[in-house]
Structure 1
């Protein structure tokens, strides 16, 4: 693991492998929603994609969605580990951070709920863009900054109350504006970043944490501080219920999903106009008088 890396990628692989082995029914609801969204986004494109890669697709749900699409030909699944599970063995064992892919080798790259755990997100996006053929498409979905803010609030308050200090317990996530900028910096053409918010209700904070474990989505922060005590979690659950519960006593958990898309540059794509090439001035478009630099506006 690189020096100063915020995330422990080996721990991520361990969490995902454990989650797949236990397979809690219904715990993959978030992945299924994202997979459906990706399938819907592909359905409105006019392109077909001969070779697609499901990057970080440890559940197989996105692979299945891509395989159903009439727009997609061959689908490969890449994951952090090669364990044979109920979802089958991945075609490639690939770390999202270091992609051993040839330049211009893919028509479509998809990453669902995985990129928010890479230590170098700009670098990962650049590698994905390079792996795409000209006019190839990237579709991504990752957790946004408001994800699990209620859990973060309750944990922080409980730890400060019990110990007088706080350790990082919930992973930080990006926001929509940051993702749009990162897509541009990575060299994607026509980048788009959007967001959706989903509020899920649970009987208690412990039921939420059970779902997170079943998703393989518990914290992988490299600097996690001291191991959390039972008393910390008990107090966290109390604070969570006090601050973030509905009148019926059930708690709320926010999941913010950032959806991004971008194309590998190609000459056929729409290009911005060159400065000075407009046929109509802004003043003409607005029906006003254009005042040149140094000219005083006429007085009424």
Structure 2
């Protein structure tokens, strides 16, 4: 049995180790250089966007995308340059709600071009899908890479505000956005009146605080039903959990939006509610909910306030 290598063999082994270490160091340097370039490209995009707001919910089906779309529409109607970024990778709703289902993503050199809806600039994974029934079976790293690309490679241009519509919960997509956009103006939290939804929204409050994302306020959706014949609002769900969250956790309460058949009609037909039913009672209520957010965007300079001081809007 040979217990020791010859001197020549030892030298060859050392040479091999040195080559491996040199190759590893080169890969690390190249990776670091690539990451620096990506970070610079990301910052060059984001610095042209004055305000960034993310719409969150702990529970699915509470109307988060509806709030995001109508907030963006309200901002655009006030003359602001607005972008809407849909980072719900597995269930993108924004293309449907804006009537853009058949639009496809296009590029210009190294840039991805957002889809235009009037004076809104829109980006969603839905523009990449070959058909509406296609499922994206992606793990976390691929989803994170897609979100990085949406932020760094999309030619957003100069915007007054970027509204980010996120999936429910506090997983990969939400965490990625909050970490990649280091100067978020804040988050809007959407809930429904019953306790089962509010429990998860409370977790989202904790998530925001751990990541130091300011909370702009809570919106309580589906509070009461608007009769399509007489306009009377009738309570059909337990009430008050949205306001209770705000009081218990010391965050602003932006107000309550009732269930209105016209909201569902507008979303299904790709016609934003605040455009199609601007003179309705529900639109008046919705405008009161988003009014403090419009004030934030209208303030001079980005991120003027890290916490929005609002009076609690009245429930209906």
State the TM bucket, normalised to the shorter chain.
0.3 to 0.5
Give TM-score scaled by structure 2 length.
0.33
Give TM-score scaled by structure 1 length.
0.35
**Going by fraction, where is helix more abundant, 1 or 2?**
2
